[in-house]
Amino acid sequence: MSHRAPYADLKPYFLTIDDVEREHEGILDWASFFGNDHPVELDIGCGRGLFLVTAGEANPDVNYLGIEIDYRQGRHGAMRLQRRQLSNVRVLGGDVLRALTELIRPHSVSAVHVYFPDPWWKRRHRPRRLFNNQFVDCCADVLQPGQLLHSWTDVEEYFGVISFLMEQHPRFETLPPPEERPATHDMDYHTSFERKARKLGKTIYRGRWRVEGGFSLLTDKETKMPRPL
């Protein structure tokens, strides 16, 4: 009877934080990791990877890294990437806080996406929620100046908490939310959880926030240089 190596067959689409420690000297150097210098976006808690597949196919000049603590989900997403040979998308198995604080260089990513973070309904489990001051600080640290954090959920109360954390954070400004777009086919949703929630007729709360710094597309009249935001 043959025994397949449990994870080897999904490389390079799925790798764990330990793999990064061993094979990439513990640092995600994007240019060598993806083999190009395209911008990199993170999908935190990517689940089964619908966003990664759709965004990766639509934007071949952008690299995407999904981060997923549940290896089964992450590997499911990676299988979809492997089937499509999507070379600009990868899934990292492990805890996002470790990835943000140990593996990803400051100011090196061009967007952070956090869709439908687990709500942890029971009050005593609330401390397990992803969004807290430390998480928001880490996102501010890894984003390049002036870039965006996007987060959607169908849980009104959690969205209130997320909005409060983001609005009172000194390094983020709140932008108007994106509008809902009608789905044109059965998989035309941002993520699997959005699909499920919209099919049940639930309201989706969408937020986006810009981290401090960066430059506006307008130039300063006197210096002719890009204006700081």
The residues that are catalytic are 118
Residue with smaller CB distance to ligand SAM, 118 or 212: 118
- Residue 193, phi-psi category: left (phi > 0), alpha (psi -120 to 50), beta (remainder): alpha
Q: What residues are paired with 209 via a beta bridge?
A: 149, 174
Rounded least distance, CB 168 to ligand SAM, Å = 22
The one-letter code for the residue type at 113 is H
Rounded least distance, CB 132 to ligand SAM, Å = 11
* Footprint of ligand SAM on 178-217 (CB under 6 A): 191-193
The reply to whether 67 sits near ligand SAM by the rule CB under 6 A is: yes
The reply to whether 68 sits near ligand SAM by the rule CB under 6 A is: yes
Residue with smaller CB distance to ligand SAM, 33 or 45: 45
Q: How far apart are CA 213 and CA 211, in angstroms?
A: 7
* Residue recorded with tokens 């609330």: 126
Chosen residue from 18, 57, 95, 167 binding ligand SAM by CB under 6 A: 95
Chosen residue from 14, 30, 116, 205 binding ligand SAM by CB under 6 A: 116
* Residue 101: count of CB within 10 angstroms of its CB: 14
Count of residues near ligand SAM by CB under 6 A: 18
Q: How far apart are CA 115 and CA 44, in angstroms?
A: 7
Rounded least distance, CB 166 to ligand SAM, Å = 18
Residue with smaller CB distance to ligand SAM, 12 or 119: 119
Residue with smaller CB distance to ligand SAM, 86 or 91: 91
Q: How far apart, in Å, are the Cα atoms of 159 and each of 67, 143, 153, 204?
A: 21, 21, 7, 10
* Footprint of ligand SAM on 23-52 (CB under 6 A): 45-47
* Inter-residue contact 94 to 26 (CB < 8 Å): no
Q: How far apart are CA 9 and CA 163, in angstroms?
A: 40
Which of the ranges 9-17, 32-40, 100-108, 114-122 carries the binding residues for ligand SAM, by CB under 6 A? 114-122
Q: How far apart are CA 39 and CA 16, in angstroms?
A: 21
The residues of the shown chain that bind ligand SAM, judged by CB under 6 A, are 45-47, 67-70, 73, 95-96, 115-118, 130, 191-193
